[in-house]
Amino acid sequence: MENQEKKVMLSGIKPSGDLTLGSYLGAIKNWGARSEEFDCYYFMADMHAITVRHDPAALRRRTLEQLAQYIACGLDPEKNTLFVQSHVHQHAELAWVLNCYAMFGELSRMTQFKDKSAKNAENINGGLFTYPCLMAADILLYQPDVVPVGEDQKQHVELTRNIVQRFNGIYGDVFKMPEPYVAKVGARIMNLVDPKSKMSKSDDTNTGRVLLMDDPAVIMKQFKRAITDSDTERCVRYDPEEKPGVANLMQIYAATTGKSFDEIEKEFDGQGYGKFKPAVGEAVVEMLRPIQEEARRIMADKAYLEGVYRAGAEKAEYIANKTLRKVYKKVGFLPR
Ligand code: TYM
């Protein structure tokens, strides 16, 4: 196997909406700068984006934009394998096999399935239900050691681990057991005006969602109107239970600047929220400024992007195919 001495890392994001500050702080930011240590695979999970009704043209556009944004966030295509999920047909094929090793009860307990079916009562389709099997296939095809995800996806990686245990229990050591990696800070960025809900790509523009490519003026506006609390002291203190809005802003500021919660509390001691909220906004604007410039520059070069995703799919397919062949042999499919 290639890079046998290196451990493997893999993750993906579905292009179901424009990338948010949550996608960046909870996921992409933790992927970069790992390529020396790991053999890294990152993909655009376009097949996951069709479990809810969607606009095909927007999906195509976002898939390409997401690739440009991955690169702008520091994922060098020379050092990381960047690809589009639907370009590697082995994902769908392994997903079918894994469907047969995931239990109805397990899939029914997935929080995301319960949330999404409540929100899309008119379209609770089979894909929404078996989505975690496709995600398990995405992971297991590449035999990764580590899967960096935000808090909300950890349950799907845990289910993948159950599938590995069940499958390996029957057929021997076919899949490597993947470990989820959830960062200590930034793994659950909440909506700025509804700090009890996760900031999501599908949130409405007029709500407290910040996009990776939002204009600086829009970002500042969103932070200035972020919900804090009615605490009369207006004290910047980390208390997710009592002060979820402030805790979320502290998470964002900590993940953006690398400062600890203690340092942040001292920095804004006695200054109230009036100083704190724009300071968080400015830190985010400055962090995103070079990423946005680079993403726009890369997005203008379609030929370059095509080259990247073609090369990525070729490398990914080579590895994915090896795993799929092994699985097909184990389950008893007659070779062609
Ligand atoms: P998705 O597209 O919803 O989110 C992509 C990644 O971003 C993280 N994330 C967040 N982290 C912190 N705060 C937030 N508000 C926030 N919103 C999103 C997610 O936890 C995730 O890590 N099914 C997956 C995509 C996927 C995948 C995979 C991931 C498909 N196959 C294989 C890992 C491995 C999803 O829908 O993530």
116 belongs to the catalytic site: yes
Pocket flag, ligand 1, residue 13 (CB < 6 Å):
yes
Nearest atom of ligand 1 to the alpha carbon of 154: 20
Mean pLDDT of all residues belonging to the chain: 94
pLDDT at residue 34, rounded to an integer: 85
Q: 140-177, pLDDT tens digit by residue?
A: 999 999 999 999 999 999 999 999 999 999 999 999 99
Domains of the chain, CATH where assigned: 2-182+301-331 (3.40.50.620), 216-296 (1.10.240.10)
2 pLDDT higher than 60: no
14 belongs to the catalytic site: no
Mean pLDDT along residues 38-45:
97
pLDDT at residue 205, rounded to an integer: 66
Tokens of 38: 């790991």
> 11 CA distance to ligand 1 centroid (A)?
8
pLDDT at residue 210, rounded to an integer: 96
Q: 123-141, pLDDT tens digit by residue?
A: 999 999 999 999 999 999 9
pLDDT at residue 115, rounded to an integer: 92
d(CA 8, CA 42): 11
335 pLDDT higher than 70: yes
Find the catalytic residue in 14, 116, 243, 277.
116
Q: 58-94, pLDDT tens digit by residue?
A: 999 999 999 999 999 999 999 999 999 999 999 999 9
Pocket flag, ligand 1, residue 187 (CB < 6 Å):
yes
Mean pLDDT along residues 268-297:
96
Which of 93-102, 231-240, 307-316 is the least confident region?
Answer: 231-240
What does the radius of gyration of the chain's CA atoms come to, in whole angstroms? 21
pTM above 0.85, yes or no: yes
pLDDT at residue 4, rounded to an integer: 57
CA-nearest residue, atom 33 of ligand 1: 11
Pocket flag, ligand 1, residue 149 (CB < 6 Å):
yes
Q: Where are the alpha helices (DSSP H) in the chain?
A: 21-23, 29-31, 56-72, 90-99, 104-108, 111-119, 126-140, 154-171, 216-224, 244-257, 261-267, 272-299, 302-331
Nearest atom of ligand 1 to the alpha carbon of 134: 31
CA-nearest residue, atom 11 of ligand 1: 26
CA-nearest residue, atom 19 of ligand 1: 150
CA-nearest residue, atom 8 of ligand 1: 150
pLDDT at residue 255, rounded to an integer: 95
> 12 CA distance to ligand 1 centroid (A)?
7
Pick from 8, 10, 13, 207 the residue to mutate for probing ligand 1's pocket: most ligand atoms within 8 Å of its CB: 13
Pick from 14, 18, 20, 23 the residue to mutate for probing ligand 1's pocket: most ligand atoms within 8 Å of its CB: 23
Q: 203-236, pLDDT tens digit by residue?
A: 876 779 999 999 999 999 999 999 998 777 789 9
* DSSP per position, 240-305: TTT-HHHHHHHHHHHHHH---HHHHHHHTTTTHHHHHHHHHHHHHHHHHHHHHHHHHHHHT-HHHH
pLDDT at residue 1, rounded to an integer: 47
- Distances in whole angstroms, Cα of residue 164 to Cα of each of 7, 125, 133, 157, 180: 18, 25, 11, 10, 14
> 75 CA distance to ligand 1 centroid (A)?
17
Find the catalytic residue in 14, 29, 201, 277.
201
> 303 CA distance to ligand 1 centroid (A)?
28
Mean pLDDT along residues 193-201:
92
| Banded pLDDT at 272 (limits 50, 70, 90) | confident
> 148 CA distance to ligand 1 centroid (A)?
9
- Count CB neighbours of 216 within 10 A: 15
79 belongs to the catalytic site: no
